[in-house]
Each structure stands twice: as structure tokens, then as C-alpha cells.
Amino acid sequence: MKFHVKKNDEVIIIAGDDKGKKGRVIDVDREKSRVFVDGVNLNSKHTKPNAKNPNGGIIKTPGSIHISNVQLLSDGKATRVGRKEEKGKTVRVSTKTGKILD
């Protein structure tokens, strides 16, 4: 199944507690239709001191967001994504500006 966002895309959150925040997609979970966005939906994990982290402490990691709650940014504005044939390949196209998205 094809999704409207890929890894390293710039997106805006359109629903939920983090509505309005912008960030970069870190990872896409295709089986669960969820994305991980940098700096959004942060989870706190308490860690004990160990060799890697001698002081221990609280580590913040991004949690997943359903893919329907993010929208792609093109030129700093939210846009829908369409698809069209370009030289024998299917490419993503911004429906607002008509630009090809990479």
C-alpha cells in the first residue's frame, strides 16, 4: 500500500495533542499505518545508570502517530498528495502547487 508520506518528509500534525507542530518523519510503520515524527508525541523512559549512560535519568523518545493525522508540507504549507505518471514512473505531486515531490 502506498502512503502520502515517506521517511525524511517534512510534515505538520493536523489532529491530536500535538496539533499544529511541524517535524521530520523519522520512520514509517507500514503494517500499523503509523509514523514517527521528530519532536512530537514524546514518551519519557526512566533509565538506571549503566555503562552507556552513567548518570541514568529520563530519556525522551518519539511515539508513533497515525498516518491520517499528518499532512505533508510543500513550500511551508500543508498540501494533499496526488500521483501521476512521469517518464514511466509514478511520482508524488502536490495538489496545491502541482510540483513534483521527492
State pTM to two decimals.
Answer: 0.85
Of 59, 32, 34, the C-alpha closest to 45 is 59
DSSP 56: -
Q: CA-to-CA distance for 28 and 22, rounded, in angstroms?
A: 16
Let me know if 17 is exposed, middle or buried by CB neighbors in 10 A (0-12, 13-18, 19+).
exposed
Given a cut of 90, is residue 1 above it in pLDDT?
no
Structural domains present in the chain: 10-101 (2.30.30.30)
- Is residue 6 a contact partner of residue 29, using CB atoms and an 8 Å limit? no
- Is residue 54 a contact partner of residue 45, using CB atoms and an 8 Å limit? no
**Digit-coded pLDDT (tens) for 73-95:** 999 999 999 999 999 999 999 99
